[in-house]
Amino acid sequence: MKKLTSALIASLLALGAAGCSAADSAGTEQPAESGAAEYSVGIVQLVAHPALDEATRGFREVLEEEFGDKVSIHFQEAAGDSSTCITIANSFVNENVDLIMANATPALQAAASATNQIPILGTSITEYGVALDISDFNGTVGGNISGTSDLAPLEQQAAMFDELLPDAKKIGILYCNAEANSVYQADVVKAALEKTGHTVTVYKFTDSNDVATVTQQAVGENDALYIPTDNTAASCTEAINNVALPANVPIICGEESMTIGCGIATLSISYYELGRTTGEMAVRILKGEDISAMPIEYYQNPVKKYDAARCEALGITVPDGYEPIE
């Protein structure tokens, strides 16, 4: 009898332990709130840097404000690797999420390749026609894709060189050659600068490994630099600044967080507000609106901003109409 009791107790303890283990495993893989969620949203973000982070924050806040615990948000960041974006996007398709938010161009391209059924919203995308290879883009992608653009008026960014740096005649444009939207911005700004009599040279780096070397060349050959809204450059502003600032070469950037890292000024948009706009679009889609008819939305009120400390260090006088970056 004692042997039977001991065996029975041992069996019950084993079953109990197995039960706890299974519960722990299930809890790890599927958080409790996901069972109650009515909507599942996947976010694939190319890389962590302030602009993209702010867009994701704004997007998430809108969904959480609208749906609370009825929405399950799955966030994954690709550490700057386009192939990882593809893996993440495919995982969201396999999970059959209700919507994918793709933050940055390689993330959008990966999501578009992964599905033509699940709604996809891009954000921090400069030019959708370029990103998706649409030759006759008219402002609406159609199909299962829409989103928001971070495109600021590029001609106005080019005009900032004459406003801030009237003596700068030779301008270098620096960007990553793997980013199609950087090529687009560089082409537009180059043409605008050449119209105003500047000599413009383009410098392309392949990835973060050769940023410093290419920046060194650009700094040595120009009076000032322009960097578009380039995700790789945005992740390497410290390396760029470490080369450009000691050489007294000012940089005008495509967005605010890059300006904080290495620039003197930008025509700035709010990536947080851009993310919120994307979130509002997601709410409408999850409630039944047809994404195929939704045009790309743009930030309407860009602001001229400058980095006060770097301008002072470089002896740059900032004209009226610019706001200091706080």
| pLDDT tens digit sequence for 111-145 | 999 999 999 999 999 999 999 999 899 999 999 99
> Within the chain, which residue ranges are assigned CATH 3.40.50.2300?
34-150+270-295, 154-268+303-324
Q: Mean pLDDT score of the chain, rounded to an integer?
A: 90
Given the candidates 1.10.3720.10, 1.20.120.50, 3.40.50.2300, 3.40.109.10, the CATH classification of the domain at 34-150+270-295 is 3.40.50.2300
Among the ranges given (11-20, 139-148, 178-187, 203-212), the one the predictor scored with the smallest mean pLDDT: 11-20
Q: What is the pLDDT of residue 27?
A: 30
Which tokens belong to 234? 């945005």
| Stretch 185-210: mean pLDDT | 96
CB neighbours of 84 closer than 8 A, spacing ≥ 6? 78
CATH architecture of the domain with range 154-268+303-324: 3-Layer(aba) Sandwich (3.40)
Among the ranges given (72-76, 178-182, 273-277), the one the predictor scored with the smallest mean pLDDT: 178-182
| Stretch 69-94: mean pLDDT | 97
pLDDT of 34 higher than 60:
no
